[in-house]
Amino acid sequence: MIQFFKIIFYQPLLNLLVFIYNFIPGHDLGLAIIILTIIIRLILWPLSRKAVQSQKMLQAIQPKIKALQEKYKNDKEELARAMIEVYRESKVNPFSSFFILLIQLPILIAVYQVFRTGLTQGEMLLYPFITNPGTLNPYFLGFFNLAKPNLALAILTGVFQYWQTKMLTTKLPTNQDSKIPTAKDENILTIMNKQMNFMMPIFTIFIGLTLPSGIMLYWLVGLILTIVQQKVIFKKP
């Protein structure tokens, strides 16, 4: 399993990063990370686009979901079947956003491994056509050390994580009558949405303070690209 991970994720990312690093004038690792992030996001574009479109549709069908909740408020099984049918007819997968996160997780782990081991342990994993630069210069723009944690970058990434998470949070209709069973469900979902809005950025900052800032740069650029993608898709009628 470990060998499979190295061959499928770690080795291609390591070689692509080194190739970009060798190609960039001045061998700026930060610029190499930005280009690497853009390439990865372009590869994942069809999957992430489908996930965002599904989330947009999920928001659009909330009035239908609310109507079903009121109609079948005393029949949970029928409500579940009706909701599944609405999802099927609308071609919506409520778990699509989690699916894209699961796909990106091994890539993020591989990026972490690339920065953790660098060329010191990964030297023999370079493809024959990739020139070995010996060591990677960890500085971005000549002064920003990507090998060490950086508070400012961690906070900035947390801010963009909040923005991106809030954009994807489903806007649920509210019901003021807490005596109605569906209103309780909506209140719970609303609380969960608010917790997700704040917990993800806090988690991002906390993790960012323990990771090399090169990983956070990758994370930040990925978030910026995701936000742009979401804005484009959500603006489409």
- Exposure on the CB side of residue 120, measured as CA atoms within 13 A: 6
- Give the Cα separation of 90 and 65 in Å (integer): 12
**Is pTM beyond 0.85 here?**
no
Q: What is the pLDDT of residues 50-82, one digit of tens each?
A: 777 677 677 777 777 778 778 777 777 877 788
Residue 193: Cβ within 10 Å count = 16
- Label residue 118 by pLDDT band (50, 70, 90): low
Least Cα distance to 165 among 207, 185, 193 occurs for: 193
Q: pLDDT-based confidence at 160, cuts 50/70/90?
A: very high
**What are the counts of helices (DSSP H) followed by strands (DSSP E) for the chain?**
10, 2
Structural tokens at position 62: 């909330």
Range of the domain at 200: 2-235
* Chain centre distance of CA 179: 37
When pLDDT is cut at 50, 70 and 90, the band that residue 181 belongs to is very low
Phi then psi dihedrals of residue 174, to 5 deg: -105, 150
Distance CA 9, CA 150 (A): 26
Q: Residue 35: which pLDDT band, with cuts at 50, 70 and 90?
A: very high
The contacts of residue 9 (CB under 8 Å, 6+ apart) are 106, 107, 109, 110
140 backbone φψ class: left, alpha, beta (φ>0; ψ -120 to 50): beta
On the 0-12 / 13-18 / 19+ scale of CB atoms within 10 A, 64 is middle
How many structural domains is the chain composed of?
A: 1
Q: Do residues 16 and 39 lie in contact, with contact meaning Cβ atoms separated by under 8 Å? A: yes
Contact 32, 221 (CB under 8 A): no
Instruction: Look up residue 123 and give its DSSP letter.
Output: G
